Every structure is written in C-alpha cells, then in structure tokens.
Amino acid sequence: MTQSTLAASPGPTSYLYLRHRWPVRLTHWLNVLSLTILLMSGLMIFNAHPSLDWGKSSYSGRPSFFEISSRAGSDGRQVGITRVFGTEFQTTGLLGVSTDADGKVADVAFPGWATIPSHYSLADARLWHFFFAWLLVLNGLVYLAHALVSRHLQRDLAPTSQDWRGIGRSIREHLRFRHPQGEEARHYNVLQKLAYLAVIFVLLPLIVLAGWAMSPWLNSLLPGWVDVFGGRQAARAVHFIVAWLLVGFVAIHVFEVVVSGLWNHLRSMVTGRYRITASPASPEQGHE
C-alpha cells in the first residue's frame, strides 16, 4: 500500500450516543444522595447500640457476633476495640475511639466525620434516616416503572444467551482490567447486568424489608411477619450487613468507572451522552 493510499485511509471516528435517558439519570443521582445520607445517619443510629445480635432480643445472654466498643489500655488511655465472632481487633482512631473535629477524643463506635449528624443525636439521625429511606423507596419505584415501560430493563439489563456463554471471558477480562472498546462498549457486559439486577431485585428490597422489620408500628399492624427474619435483632443485623454489601458494590462500581473512563461515564450520567471511538464502518448517526 502506497503512502498516498495510507494518507487517504480514514481513521477511527468518535461519536456520542444517548446512553441514559433523563429518568435514569435523575433517579441515579437521587439514589446517590439518598444512600449516602442513609449510610451516614445509619452509622449514627448504630452508635446508640454498637453491636449486632441474632434473634428476637439482644438480651439473650449470648455474646454479640459483632461489636464496637472501647476499654482502658495499659497506659490508661481508651483503646478502640472491634470484636467479630469473639476475635478482637484494636481499631483506635477509626472505630471505638477516634478524634473529633475539635481534637477531643470521642468514645463512639463510628467517628463524627462519618455520621449525620456529626454530634451524637439518635433523634436527629432517625429523622434523616426515615426521610431519605422513603425517598429511596419512592425513587426506586419510579425507576422500576420507567425501566419496565421503556423496556430499559428487558433491553439493557436482562442477560442474553450470548451473555451467559461469555461469562467466563468477561470474568477474565475484568481480572485483567480490560474493558470493552468501540461498539462493544455500547452495551453492559454480563457481570454488570448481574450486579445491577442483584442490587435492584435483591439487596435494595432486602434492606428495605429488614428496615421495616425493625418498626414496632409495622409489627403491631402485621403481627408475626418479623419472624421471617428470625426476630427484630436478626433483621437489624441483616439491615447492617446488606448496607455494607451496597457500600462494597458502590466502591467496585466507582473503581470500574474510574479505570474505564471517568469523564466519559460521568458525562453519560449527567448529559446522557456516551462517547464511542469506532472504526470507519460504524454508524454515522450521533457523530459530533
């Protein structure tokens, strides 16, 4: 091939396409806000009783399977202790004992910088928590209704037979930090689809139901249904564990967004437009 032919050969083109419609973008950012405040206010609520038990009561006589506390160390200073299934870890400075914004030592499970409000107030934390819990539920219902009506759920999130066949390849590519390029990047891969479906249909409903199970009012309205979780303390433990599973999902999600193109993903969730770098044979529609 001559040099003139090479010069005339078209190179890769880039174009934007509408990846996220406005209802998806709006509900996404409301979820970000709601889940952030729910986590921080939930940590303040946990500070009021910083241990987890399994069963109907925390007064069963059995030791808690998870507990954050403090005790005096050999030098007389308070030491933060986190106990998991009987095994103790010193967590001074982060859990159990930490330093507040004024430089004072705070003897609380989670430090003030991680809670809402930053000072101890169970009443205020419950107000924040309940308001944004209902916002999360209503926002989720709006998203689900839109996803069904627009066929976003069926078209973009439901795994296909080809997805199932390629799940091994997708796992290997993720482990090697290889991400789809070109036209392949227009669609979620099978691991993304399974993760999103697990959050939408397993983790979020479970955390909401476990939260409701801690409500004496709902228990009096529908007696006995709390036993589905094994009791109110068991529901509290499920609520706490699922909350941290969601934190884990968010951490992995943010990591993947950063390593696969932060600004491209961020633009798609703000304006809806996602940039694809495609070969000359790619469709022309949507080009800038």
pTM as predicted: 0.85
| Cα gap 23→271, rounded to integer Å | 12
Which two three-digit tokens encode residue 204? 């979020």
Write the pLDDT tens digit of every residue in 248-270: 999 999 998 898 889 988 999 99
210 Cβ neighbours under 8 A, 6+ residues apart: 229, 235, 236, 238, 239, 242
> What would the two tokens of residue 129 be?
């928590």
8 A C-beta contact, residue 152 and residue 146: yes
Q: CATH assignment of 16-50+115-278? A: 1.20.950.20
Domains of the chain by residue range: 16-50+115-278, 51-107
Taking the C-alpha atoms of residue 199 and residue 246, their distance in angstroms, rounded to an integer, is 8
Per residue in 130-159, pLDDT (tens digit) is 999 999 999 999 999 999 999 888 888 999
Mean per-residue pLDDT, 275-282 = 65
